[in-house]
Structure 1
Amino acid sequence: MEEATIFCARYLDDVESKLNRPVRLQEGPLSTGKSKKLSASKLYQAYRFILDNMESIHPYREHSHWDNRQVQVEGHKNFVDWFRSHINMLKRQNVHLDEEVINLAFGPLPDVTCYPAFGVNGYKFKTKAVEATRTTQNSGVVTVGDESKLFYGVIDEILAIQVPKMKSTVLFKCTWYDYREGLGWKKDDYNLISINTSRNSYIDEPFIYPSQVRQVYYSKDPKNQNWSVVCHWKPRDTYEVPEEGQHTKEEIEDEEINYVQSIDPCIPSKGITIDDGNIEWVRKDMGIGTFVSQKDLKGAKSFIGKNKKKSQIIQHAA
């Protein structure tokens, strides 16, 4: 009966139902935030991350007195202090500077806004603390690093950092798990990735933009207490459309096969023809077939007829 009901709901595609209702997920903070003062060390880390990802700051990273090693090591640690003093020196010399660069040199304010939940890219993210009293997971994240490495973690805080005269910047403060194979992650014979949640990395680089992550959830390994299996998923109504010529014919056919296999069997498939005046109620693709009694057949046809008339009346009234 459930299969017939869902089939009828999909047949009446001009009538809104739970199957075709679009997902309405708000982008941005999903609740009211609370203000707090961020510690000096965390504020410095957030400030450094913002500078590292601002295009207008890139020209100032090329310090003529540093070699490549100094830029990679000392520049990462000391660039913030050098940048602020360098901009102040240029201002005293009356050098024309971009307004954004001047504002960034001032630095962020210590007062930040904390949010428990945030929506982006069709995902609803929540902090690890929010999950403590719930059965669902929304704090797991994954991002792609250098050389296409995957970095897994959980969200500890969702912070809005404010730089004077600029829009606030929302950052996820995360705990990142060890990315080294064997120590931090491993893959089993079924290509399932497990993460060692007892080992952390990048402790001094906890921040990331919400747009740079996707959501995952972790399933505890019953045989290994410190390990969890990673589960990836895509939000509803989100599709990856390849560019023209991006995939070969074989890859497209494989994707179509996987897509068909993932469709609920109640959706019309081969052997079920749909026509305004001819509806075949026997599924020929199921071996011996699934037969519908005359009583159920009359009831289903009556249901479709009534709802089609109702839909026509609604459209006429509109």
Structure 2
Amino acid sequence: MESLEADVAETLSLLEALFLPSFFDIMVHLMVHLPAQARIAGPVHFRSMWPVERFLMRLKGSVHTKSHPEGSIMEWSMFTECLTFCSRYLHETQFSRQFRDDEDNSITPFFRSLGRGLAGKCIVSLDHKTWLQAHRYVLFNYANIGSYLDKHAHYLSSIGLRNKRDINRTQHESFHEWFRLHVEERCEEEPEEIKILAKAPMMSAHKYSSYTINGFNFHTESYDEGRSVQNSGVALVAESTSFDRGNNDNTIIGNKPYYGIIKEILELNYHHKGNVVLFKCDWVDNRVQDKWVKTDQFGITSVNFKHLFNTGEKLSDEPFILASQAIQVYYVPDPIDKEWAAVVQSKPRDVYDFDNLEDEHIDNDNGLVVQLSDLNASVTVDIVNGTIPTIRTDIDGTLVDPKKTKK
């Protein structure tokens, strides 16, 4: 900063030899004082009067009765506040209108953009393991992939695999290759989305440090460091399949919550015909119930990040989730046991519950509706007719006569 202060005077002296004296007005001379002011007072946005002047201009424009300017400003303020509050519950306002989307996504709704990157956008080259894990997760979580999984399972049975455990493991390893060959054979009969997915994404992808979707701003763990808020926590309620011990055909299917930290945000490019955003996370090991993820009698879920799985080190790991599936949470460290942290579910910004409170949902920026899962669905509160009782009924109350208490 000291060198800038010395250089600016020399620079202005050199400019005086090139420009007329009328060029050097007070605004040009102001540059001489800017380095000293920045060194003494800090960044200009902490002491600028421009926002104050803009707000005073709005207040001045709200005065319609010059004999009572304060009343006009107060009336305008209440009117604006009421309209802003009501407009959040209406359609096609500045708070709920859809973002412009020039692309026709009627044929490929799966690739429709649900959010947008906020910071740290760059292009990275994926290694084969990361590429395969991401592509595999997209395939298995595509809504219309069920019929192809059944065909592949039938094919595996026909080549000698008998029990469901072996079929499930082999399908996880080889489905993406069989799917590509199967679609190439029936190329003209398949829908456009299936053709795009079968070609697999490119080895280069966009990488973000911050991404907004479903009303949440998600950050990577490295981008979250040093910030006062935590936006890297993520949770997912997913359907998990397990097998009974000693029985390779008896499957147990149930919903299970997963808790993790976002490590990377990747946007896969399907040969410029569609994009899919994924979060790569470190997941807390929840394979054994109430071991590293446990819930106490008060409904508070605690996790231990010293024990992770599906970190992406193995080729069979599943570290990715779709950005549209993510539920934002934050972790509060346990003051007694430092290895544990309590999970708190965040609420999306600018989302208001009305109409049907039981079916909580949010509207995306593009008009799509995404269901929000309740991570604490097992915790119940007795509410009669939608109202919480305000008096206790488990003990006898004491009646106080105000007339007798007066002296």
One-letter amino acid of the structure 2 residue matched with residue 75 of structure 1: Q
The answer to whether the 8 Å contact 1:103/1:165 transfers is no
Alignment partner of 2:229 out of 123, 136, 150: 136
One-letter amino acid of the structure 2 residue matched with residue 105 of structure 1: A
Q: Which residue in 2 is equivalent to 1:47?
A: 135
For 1:10 and 1:225, the matched residues in 2 are separated by: 53
Alignment partner of 1:176 out of 280, 283, 303: 283
Change (3 A) 1:69 1:157: same
Single out whichever of 53-62 and 165-174 deviates more from structure 2: 53-62
Alignment partner of 1:69 out of 157, 162, 165: 165
Change (3 A) 1:138 1:10: farther
Specify the structure having the higher radius of gyration (Cα).
2
In the alignment, structure 1 residue 236 sits paired with structure 2 residue 345? no
**For 1:104-143, what aligned pairs fall within 5 Å after superposition?**
104-143=197-236
Change (3 A) 1:166 1:219: same
For 1:49 and 1:244, the matched residues in 2 are separated by: 32
Alignment partner of 1:194 out of 283, 302, 325: 302
Change (3 A) 1:244 1:220: closer
Q: Which residue in 1 is equivalent to 2:364?
A: none
Q: How many angstroms does 1:115 deviate by?
A: 0.7
The answer for unaligned runs of 5 or more in structure 2 is 1-73, 89-93, 100-114, 240-253, 312-316, 361-381, 391-407
Q: How many angstroms does 1:240 deviate by?
A: 4.3
Change (3 A) 1:176 1:14: same
The answer to whether the 8 Å contact 1:142/1:153 transfers is yes
One-letter amino acid of the structure 2 residue matched with residue 163 of structure 1: Y
The answer to whether the 8 Å contact 2:268/2:277 transfers is yes
One-letter amino acid of the structure 2 residue matched with residue 14 of structure 1: F
The answer for unaligned runs of 5 or more in structure 1 is 1-8, 258-318
* Other structure's SS at 1:129 match: helix
Change (3 A) 1:56 1:188: closer
Q: How many angstroms does 1:210 deviate by?
A: 1.6
For 1:246 and 1:195, the matched residues in 2 are separated by: 28
**For 1:83-98, what aligned pairs fall within 5 Å after superposition?**
83-88=179-184, 90-91=185-186, 96-98=189-191
Q: Which residue in 2 is equivalent to 1:15?
A: 80
For 1:82 and 1:187, the matched residues in 2 are separated by: 41
Alignment partner of 1:205 out of 298, 314, 318: 318
For 1:245 and 1:15, the matched residues in 2 are separated by: 31
In the alignment, structure 1 residue 58 sits paired with structure 2 residue 146? yes
Q: How many angstroms does 1:28 deviate by?
A: 1.5
- CA RMSD of superposed structures (Å): 3.4
In the alignment, structure 1 residue 149 sits paired with structure 2 residue 256? yes
For 2:359 and 2:217, the matched residues in 1 are separated by: 30
Percent identity reads: 30
For 1:185 and 1:134, the matched residues in 2 are separated by: 26
* Other structure's SS at 2:387 match: helix
Change (3 A) 1:177 1:246: closer
TM, length-normalised to structure 2: 0.53
For 1:150 and 1:206, the matched residues in 2 are separated by: 14
Q: Deviations over 1:13-42 (max 9, x none)?
A: 42349x959797994111351001011101
Q: How many angstroms does 1:245 deviate by?
A: 8.8
For 1:191 and 1:249, the matched residues in 2 are separated by: 17
For 1:246 and 1:116, the matched residues in 2 are separated by: 32
TM, length-normalised to structure 1: 0.67
Q: Which residue in 2 is equivalent to 1:222?
A: 335
How many aligned positions are there? 245
The answer to whether the 8 Å contact 2:216/2:349 transfers is no
Q: Which residue in 1 is equivalent to 2:192?
A: 99
Change (3 A) 1:237 1:245: closer
Q: Deviations over 1:92-113 (max 9, x none)?
A: xx76333332222221101010
For 2:80 and 2:353, the matched residues in 1 are separated by: 27
The answer to whether the 8 Å contact 2:120/2:210 transfers is no
For 1:245 and 1:61, the matched residues in 2 are separated by: 34
Q: Which residue in 1 is equivalent to 2:126?
A: 38
Change (3 A) 1:165 1:101: farther
One-letter amino acid of the structure 1 residue matched with residue 142 of structure 2: M
Q: Return the structure number with greater relative CO, CA threshold 8 A, min gap 6.
A: 1
Q: Deviations over 1:201-260 (max 9, x none)?
A: 233111111221211111111221211111222133323457499799715113x97xxx
